[in-house]
Amino acid sequence: MKHIYLNLKRFDVPAELGGVNRLAPVQEWGRTIVESTQEPLKKYNPQEVEFVQFLPEAHLLQAVAALSENSLLQIGSQSVYRDNTAVGGNFGAFTTNRPASIVKAMGCAATLIGHCEERNDKKGILAEAGVSNMSAVNRLLNKEIKCAMDAGLKVVYCIGETSEEQPQWEQVLGEQLSVGLEGVDKSKVVIAYEPVWSIGPGKTPAGKDYITKIARFVKEQTGGMDVVYGGGLKTDNAAMLASIEEIDGGLIALTRFTGEIGFYPEEYLEIIRLYLGE
């Protein structure tokens, strides 16, 4: 099974406000993306590939409502909170947070947990509190994964090493896997590998040999879990990533990196075509 994920981050912010959204008014943005992509994706075999689009919470309802009959698209949230509502327990005292129960009730099928931007946020909060042992981040993410799975959500769990951590990549990634997946049903989780050290302007992208090495390591450590490339599936690396036997898909974000930078549905579909060889 191949997995093609789309993380739309905060691509909904209009360009005139400093964002990259030139696609649609904010109120129509989630619906527009679903309606622009789901019909072309129906040509693919659902037994061979799955498509999940992770949107900011404000757009989840309209995205789910835009799903057509027999759509191959699934909608996902960008993480969940580490605690959840429960019958006879907490009925919803989660101001500003996103419990897994509401994500499921909104019609989502999956969630994205541990993205490097989420990890950085948690690290920053811990640092402000004077905490230097960042292993706590993996424990918090483990709680999120368990809440998501208890709610019936599939999980894409992101791991990755920074440039400072790269010399100890085996230890760093090994801990992210062992702690993050402790007590978890691994059959409902896909690992997304983000080479954080290689992501961003002016940085050298991770090469085929390095990505292959990491994917093999992850499969060895996890008993063969599916691994997708989370460093950005793009037009210029789709063929290379497709040639790596150990990689089971990819995570798309921006589709255009020059000019009018942003996410464009037709370019998203082209990346999928290039990766799947259609």
| Tens-digit pLDDT profile for residues 46-58 | 999 999 999 999 9
CA distance 241 to 274: 10
* Per-residue model confidence as pLDDT tens digits over 7-57: 999 999 999 999 999 999 999 999 999 999 999 999 999 999 999 999 999
- 194's CB contacts (< 8 A; 6+ apart) are 115, 116, 158, 159, 160, 230, 231, 251
Check 3, 115, 144, 161 and give the catalytic one: 115
Q: Would you say residue 132 has pLDDT above 90?
A: no
Identify the band that residue 133 occupies on the pLDDT scale cut at 50, 70 and 90: confident
Q: Closest Cα to residue 142, out of 104, 189, 103, 179?
A: 179
Check 118, 144, 161, 194 and give the catalytic one: 194
Cα-Cα-Cα-Cα torsion 132, 135, 140, 144, nearest 10 degrees, comes to 140
The whole-number pLDDT of residue 72 equals 98
Q: Is 161 annotated as catalytic?
A: no
CA distance 205 to 211: 10
The whole-number pLDDT of residue 255 equals 98
Structural contact between residues 190 and 156, judged by C-beta atoms closer than 8 angstroms: yes
CA distance 239 to 267: 15
Structural contact between residues 8 and 33, judged by C-beta atoms closer than 8 angstroms: yes
Helix (H) or strand (E) run with residue 272 in it: helix 265-276
Rg of the chain taking only CA atoms, in angstroms: 18
Helix (H) or strand (E) run with residue 189 in it: strand 189-193
The whole-number pLDDT of residue 193 equals 98
CATH architecture of 2-276: Alpha-Beta Barrel (3.20)
Q: Would you say residue 201 has pLDDT above 90?
A: no
pTM of the model: 0.97
Identify the band that residue 202 occupies on the pLDDT scale cut at 50, 70 and 90: confident
Calculate mean pLDDT across residues 206-225. 98
Q: Is 266 annotated as catalytic?
A: no
